[in-house]
Structure 1
Amino acid sequence: MKVSDFVAFFPGDGAAPPPAAFAALPRIFADGLHAQAVRAEQLGGATLFRTAPPDGRVFRFFARDGSWVVVKGLMVDVRARQPQVDLEGLLDDLVQGAEPDLNRYEGTFAAAAWDARARRGWAFNDQVSLLNLYYGEFDGGLYVASTALPLAAALGLEPSREGLQEFLVRGCILAPASAFAGLARLDVGQHVRFEAGRCRVGQHWRAYKEPAPHRRLDDAAAAIASVIADRVRRFDAVSGPMVFDLTGGYDSRLLASGAHFAGVKPTVTVNGPRDLPDVVVSKQVAAAAGWPMLYFDTDRLDGRPIDPEMRRELTFRTNGEIVFSDVYNQQFSRPVLAERFNLHAGGVGGEFVRYYPWSQEFFGIGRRRKANVENVLRYRVLQGRFPPADLFERPWYPALRARLHAQIDAICASAPGTLTNQQLDAVHVWKFSSGTSLYMSALFNWFPTCLPLLTAGFVEAGIETPWRLRLSTALDRRLIGMLAPRAADVVTIYGGPASPLRLATVPLHLRQTMRQCGHLVAKVDSVLGTGRLRRWAVPTRAPARKDHLLTPEFRDFLTPEKMRSRGLYAMPGLRRVLAGSDDEWAARGGLIQRIATVEQVCRELRFEPGPELLG
C-alpha cells in the first residue's frame, strides 16, 4: 500500500516561482524513504509536491480553476448521514471567505488547501492532531508538509532547541514544537490561514465541555456507547474492512466491543512474545468473544539487525521525534495486515472514561480552581529520569521544565472557572500530541490507522461525563459489558474482569484493587519526588536485550569521536554513557537510542551542533 506525503508552498508574493527546495525533495524522499515522487506542480500560484498519485481513499486531491485541496489520511463527516467527504464541497467551504465549520470533520488526517482567487492558503488536521502537520515561513511564503525531515533537509534547517531538549529527556516532542528550527507542528484544535504574506494560527476546537446531566452510570455509558458505534461505522463505511488492536487492558477491548456492537464484526490483532501478559489475555478475550485474531510473535518476526539503511529509513519515518527503533517491529507486521485490510484501528483514548488524566490531583478533583500544575509536570510529563548531568556542558533542564510548566499552566488557565478535572482532561489531550500522534504518523504510510477513541466526538463524550462517574473503572466495565458481554468476563492484565462487579467476581476485583493501591503509592511517591516507595509498590523488569539494535556497526556509529552531534555533549560524559558491555548498553538503552536518533538527524541535516544549541 502506498500512502503519499505532501509538501505545499503558499507564496506571499503572487509572482513568486516555486522555491529551490522543491528541486531537492525528489532525491531526499527517494534516498530516505524509497518514495518515488510525483513532480512538483504549480497550481494557481501555489506549489504542491506529492510522493504518490491520489488513491481516492487515504490520499485525495481535488482542483478547480487553480484552487485545490489535498488530504492525507482518513476524514469523515460526522454531521451528514453519509460519512464520505466531498472534497469539492470542502473546497467551496474554504474559499467562501468566512470561517468554515472544520469540526464537522473527524478522523486521522492532515489537509492543505489553496484559494487561487483570494490567494489564501489553509492548513488543518484532525482536532486531536493525530496525523502530524508541519508549517513554517521560509522563502517569502509558507510551507505546509505532512512530514518534516525531508523538508528540513531540503531547506537546510538546524535541529530546534526546544525539540532537542524534550527529546533527550522524554523521548518524544510535544506540539507545537518539532525537531527542526523554524518548523512548528499544528497543536490541538488548531488551523493555519495564510493570506497577504501573513500566517495566522486559529483555534476551531477546544478540549473543554461542561458536565452532562448524567446521574447514573448507565446514562453515561449509553451516551458514550452511541458515539463509539457511530464513529466505528463511519470509518468502516469510508475505508473498511478494518482490523482492531486488542491487548490485555480496557481500552482496546472497549473499542473492539464497540465494533462488535456496531455490527462491524471485528478481526483483532496483537503483537508480542507468546508469554507476554497482553498476548495471553488478548487471545482469551478473542476466543471468548468469537473474534478472529491475527497474532504476530515478535520473537519470530523478520528480526534482521538494524543496518545503516534501515536506521535511516526509520528515522525519516519518525522524523527524529520519537526513537527510530520504536517502529522496528511494525515495519514487518503492518504491511502484512495491509494485504487483507484497508484500515487499522488502535484502542488508544479510553482514559477519558476513567480517572487517569487527573488522578494525581488527589483531593482537589472536581474543584473550581486552578489545577495543580506542578503535580502534572512531575507525574505526567517529566516523570522519567533526567539524563546524567555530566553528559552536558551546561545545565539546560531548568529552562525545559519552566517552558513545559508554562505550557501546562496556559492550558489550565484558558478556560477560567472550570473544574480541575476539566483542565487536566484538556492537558491530557495535549499530551497525545507527543507519543501517540508521532508514533501513529510514523506508521501511517505502512498501513493507515484511525483512533476512534481519540476522535473529537468520543473525547467530548468522555470529558463531559461527571467526574464522580469516572472515579474508578466502573464506567469502562459497564461499557464493555453493555457492548460485548462475552468479552467482559475475561480477566484483564490488571487482575480483575472487565465486567461490572458481581458476587462471583469479588475476589478478582479485590486483587485488582490491591494493584491499584500499589500504583497509588507510586503516584504519591512520584509527586513527592522521593523515589523510595515506587520500587516497592510497582515491580520493574530488567531491560530486554535488543540484539537487532546492539550490533558492532551500531557501536561504531556511536563512536564519540566520529559523531556529528558530539558537540552537544561533554566528551567525558558521552564516553562514559557509550562505554560498557551489551548488557550495560541495554540498561541505558533508552538514553543511548535517543543519542543515536539525534546523531542520525544531524547526519541527515549535515549539521554539527555545539553546546549552545541546548541552551
Structure 2
Amino acid sequence: MRSYLAIVAKHPGRRIAPPVLATARTATVEGLPVPAENLKRQEWISPHGDIALLAWSNEPKHELLPPMLIDSGAGVVGYCGYLGDPAEEELLAAADRLDTRLDAFGGVFSVFRADGTGFEAATSIARVCPVYHTETADLAIAGSRALPVHLTARAARTGQTRPRPDIDLLGLQVMVRHGFYTNDETPFRDVRALPAAATLTARPGKPVRIDRRPAPEAGGRPARGRAARQGVTALAEALLEAARPLGRHGEPIMLGLTGGRDSRIMAALLHTAGVPFTARTRGFSDDPDVVLATRIAGILGVPHEVALPREDSGGRFQQVGHPLHRAHHVIRMCEGMTSAYESVNGFAPYTMTPKTSGSGGETLRGGFLYDQNDISPEGIRRRVKTIFCSADEFLTPEARERSRPHHEEWAERARADGPGVLDTLYLHYRTGRWLVGSHTATVMNWPFYHPFLDNRVVRAALELPATWRRSEEVVFRIIETLTPQLRDLPLEGKRWGFERTRPRRILNRGRWHARAALLPSGRTSGFNWRKQAVEPLLGVMREQIMDGPAELFDLVDRARIDETLTPGAQGWAMQRWHVYTLSVLLSGRWREPLPPDLPGLDIPIPSAQPR
C-alpha cells in the first residue's frame, strides 16, 4: 500500500513548523496498519518550506509498481491504487490541472501532486482510494488516511507531539445505523472525505478549492435489439479493457469466487480476456457459495481451493478469535469507519501475487436499486429514509437529529429522480465509503485489482439507465456474450431480476428452470457465528459495551442496546457489533498493543439450519 500526506502553509511567507512535520511523520506511521520496520518513506518539501508531500509504502521495488513519488520537473506526483495504463503517469505529471485529465484515465486511484505553487489531491469516480482533508488556521492538509490528517491538524492546534484524537461523538450515529459512513464525515472532528470525482486545490494565500467533475448522464432505456446490444457491448468492452492490467503479472490471478453474480462475471471476464486465474472460496462444504463456485471453476477448468472455517473436532462449535482482537484490528485498519462485524485481512509480508474479486459489481446492477422491489416514488422515499434514519431506536435524540440534514438533502433530490438517487447513493456511500476499509486491507499485502470499479467502467455503466441495470439484464447479457457456458448456472440466493417470476420468452422455460436459485439447506449452510445471540460471545460484548466509556451513552440508548445483549435476542445482531466497535474506538485501546493472551471463543453450531 502507498500512503500520502500533503500540507500547505496557508499564509504566504510562512513555513510549515518543524514540530508539525515531525508529528505528521510519526502520526502516519502510527496510522498505517503496517509494522514500522516494513515502511519506506520519501518526501518532497518546497524550497521555501511552505509545501510538503510525504509518502510511505510497504511495497517492494518492482517494474509493475510505481515509485512513491514521481518527479514532475516542478514538483512531484504520487498515486494510490493503479492506473489502467502506466504511461498515464507522465500525463499526471505534465497536466496543467489534474481535473482536466483524470476522467479519461482507466484504473482505480487517487492522486496527490505538489509543486512550488501548492498541492492538488483528486479522487476517481468510485473513490475506493480515498482522500481525506481538513484545515487549521494556518494549514491545509490532505491525505490518503484520515487519522494522520487529523493528528497533524491536532498537533498544529495544540502543540502536542502525540495528541489524542478528537472524536466527533454524535457523528458516529451513522456507524450505529450501518457500520459505515453514509456521508462524507469521519470519526475525527473536522476531517472529511473528498467527494467522488473531485479535486482539492490548496495554495498559499488562496482559499482551499474543491472542484467536482460531473458524472455521465444516462440515456433512455433502450428497446430490445440493436440499441440494447450496443449499450451492453460498450460496457463489456470497457470491462475487458479494465481486465488487461491483470495480465501483466505473468502468473495466475487469485479470484475470490462465490455463487453470486459479481464474482461470476469476473470469472467470465478473466476467462474471455485470456488472463489465467485460480479461484478460492471460503465457507462450509454445504454453503451455496462453495457448491456453485466449485461448479463454475469446474466448467472453466480453473484450479479451485475451498477454505473451511475452523471447527472443533466434534463439529459442534466454530472456533473464533476474541472479539476485542477483531475490533482492535478493524479499527486500526479502517480508522474507525468500519464495524468489527466485517472481516478484513490482517497484515502479511507483501507479495506480488495479484488478486481480484467481485466486489463493486453492484454498480453495474443499479446500486441500491438492485434489491429495491418497490421503485414507486413512495417506495424510494422509504428506502432513502432507511439509508439515513434506520435503527433510530438505538440512538439518543441528539444523535438522531444529526442525520436530519443528510436525509433531507437526498430526499429532496429523490423527488426529481428517485432511481438515480439510489444508484448515486450506492456509488458514493456504499462503494465509496464501506468498501474502502476492505480495499485498504487487501492492497496492504498484494496488488489488488477492481475492474468493476475502474474509472472508465463506472462511467460506461452510468451512461446506461439505472432502471435497466437494476433488471440485471445488462450483466446477464455480458455473461451470455463472454461465457455462454455459465449462462444457465443457478445463482446463490435469488434469481436474476429480469426473470424472477417467469422466463423472458416461453421458449426459454427449460433454461429458466435450470437457473433456479440455490438456497441454504444443510446443517452449516448459511451459518454466521457473528449473528448468534449466545454466550460466551454476548458476555464479552456486554462487558465492553455496558462497562466501557460512559460517553457512549450520549450516543446510544443504553436500555435498547442492553436488550440485544440477552441470550436468544432476536435481530439487530449488526447493531451489537457496531456499538461494540464504537465502545472500543472511544476507549482508545486501539492505539496501544493488546494483550497477546486474549482467549478465543467457541460458538455453538446449530444441529440443523432451517430451510
5 Å matches for 1:127-206?
127-138=125-136, 140-154=138-152, 155=154, 156-160=164-168, 163-195=171-203, 196-206=205-215
**Aligned-residue identity in percent:** 15
For 1:280, which of 291, 314, 325 is the aligned residue?
Answer: 291
Q: Deviations over 1:475-507 (max 9, x none)?
A: 332221211122223211145589987342233
Preserved CA contact (<8 Å) 1:130 1:436? yes
Q: Structure 1 residue 227 and structure 2 residue 238: aligned?
A: yes
For 1:388, which of 391, 394, 404 is the aligned residue?
Answer: 394
SS at match of 1:192: strand
Q: Structure 1 residue 603 and structure 2 residue 611: aligned?
A: no
Partner residue, 1:62: 70
Preserved CA contact (<8 Å) 2:186 2:192? yes
C-alpha distance in 2 between matches for 1:491 and 1:429 = 27
SS at match of 1:198: coil
Q: What's the CA shift for 1:356?
A: 5.9
The alpha-carbon distance between structure 1 residues 345 and 398, as it changes in their structure 2 partners (threshold 3 A), is same
C-alpha distance in 2 between matches for 1:587 and 1:292 = 38
Q: What's the CA shift for 1:34?
A: 4.4
C-alpha distance in 2 between matches for 1:241 and 1:261 = 14
C-alpha distance in 1 between matches for 2:30 and 2:467 = 54
The alpha-carbon distance between structure 1 residues 231 and 386, as it changes in their structure 2 partners (threshold 3 A), is same
Q: Which runs of 5+ in 1 are unaligned?
A: 77-82, 365-369, 516-538, 608-615
Q: Deviations over 1:230-271 (max 9, x none)?
A: 111134338975322322122221122011111113322222
The alpha-carbon distance between structure 1 residues 153 and 457, as it changes in their structure 2 partners (threshold 3 A), is same
The one-letter code matched in structure 2 to 1:171 is G
For 2:300, which of 254, 279, 289 is the aligned residue?
Answer: 289
Q: Structure 1 residue 481 and structure 2 residue 480: aligned?
A: yes
C-alpha distance in 1 between matches for 2:355 and 2:66 = 10
Preserved CA contact (<8 Å) 2:368 2:422? no
The alpha-carbon distance between structure 1 residues 29 and 599, as it changes in their structure 2 partners (threshold 3 A), is farther
Partner residue, 1:315: 331
C-alpha distance in 2 between matches for 1:601 and 1:399 = 20
Q: Structure 1 residue 504 and structure 2 residue 510: aligned?
A: yes
Partner residue, 2:52: 47
The one-letter code matched in structure 1 to 2:70 is F
The alpha-carbon distance between structure 1 residues 99 and 214, as it changes in their structure 2 partners (threshold 3 A), is same
Preserved CA contact (<8 Å) 2:351 2:445? no
Partner residue, 2:551: 565
The one-letter code matched in structure 1 to 2:582 is V
TM-score with structure 1 setting the length: 0.77
How many residue pairs are counted as aligned between the two chains? 549
Preserved CA contact (<8 Å) 1:12 1:141? yes
Preserved CA contact (<8 Å) 2:253 2:353? yes
The alpha-carbon distance between structure 1 residues 66 and 479, as it changes in their structure 2 partners (threshold 3 A), is closer
The alpha-carbon distance between structure 1 residues 495 and 399, as it changes in their structure 2 partners (threshold 3 A), is closer
For 2:353, which of 341, 346, 350 is the aligned residue?
Answer: 341
Preserved CA contact (<8 Å) 1:245 1:252? yes
Q: What's the CA shift for 1:544?
A: 3.6
Partner residue, 1:112: 112
Partner residue, 2:93: 91
Q: What's the CA shift for 1:433?
A: 1.9
Q: Deviations over 1:561-587 (max 9, x none)?
A: x42634525785278358545x55x96
Preserved CA contact (<8 Å) 1:29 1:150? yes
Q: What's the CA shift for 1:68?
A: 0.9
Q: What's the CA shift for 1:343?
A: 3.5
The alpha-carbon distance between structure 1 residues 220 and 34, as it changes in their structure 2 partners (threshold 3 A), is closer
The alpha-carbon distance between structure 1 residues 597 and 307, as it changes in their structure 2 partners (threshold 3 A), is closer
Q: What's the CA shift for 1:345?
A: 3.8
Q: What's the CA shift for 1:166?
A: 1.0
Q: What's the CA shift for 1:408?
A: 5.2
Partner residue, 1:428: 426
Indicate the larger mover: 127-136 or 468-477. Answer: 468-477
Q: Which runs of 5+ in 2 are unaligned?
A: 155-163, 313-317, 520-525, 592-611
Partner residue, 1:591: 575
C-alpha distance in 1 between matches for 2:17 and 2:538 = 43
Q: Structure 1 residue 250 and structure 2 residue 261: aligned?
A: yes
The one-letter code matched in structure 1 to 2:391 is R
The alpha-carbon distance between structure 1 residues 92 and 280, as it changes in their structure 2 partners (threshold 3 A), is same
Preserved CA contact (<8 Å) 1:324 1:597? yes
The alpha-carbon distance between structure 1 residues 455 and 371, as it changes in their structure 2 partners (threshold 3 A), is farther
C-alpha distance in 1 between matches for 2:554 and 2:361 = 36
Q: Deviations over 1:401-451 (max 9, x none)?
A: 4422314534x58xx8xx654454333322322322343234432344332
C-alpha distance in 2 between matches for 1:408 and 1:35 = 44
The alpha-carbon distance between structure 1 residues 214 and 43, as it changes in their structure 2 partners (threshold 3 A), is farther
SS at match of 2:537: coil
C-alpha distance in 2 between matches for 1:52 and 1:111 = 15
SS at match of 1:20: helix
The one-letter code matched in structure 1 to 2:56 is T
For 1:550, which of 521, 532, 537 is the aligned residue?
Answer: 537
Q: What's the CA shift for 1:147?
A: 1.2
The alpha-carbon distance between structure 1 residues 186 and 62, as it changes in their structure 2 partners (threshold 3 A), is same
Partner residue, 1:331: 346
The one-letter code matched in structure 1 to 2:93 is L
Q: Deviations over 1:442-467 (max 9, x none)?
A: 44323443321222322333333356
SS at match of 2:7: strand
C-alpha distance in 2 between matches for 1:147 and 1:213 = 42
Q: Structure 1 residue 437 and structure 2 residue 453: aligned?
A: no
Preserved CA contact (<8 Å) 1:133 1:146? yes
C-alpha distance in 2 between matches for 1:26 and 1:311 = 25
The alpha-carbon distance between structure 1 residues 10 and 60, as it changes in their structure 2 partners (threshold 3 A), is same
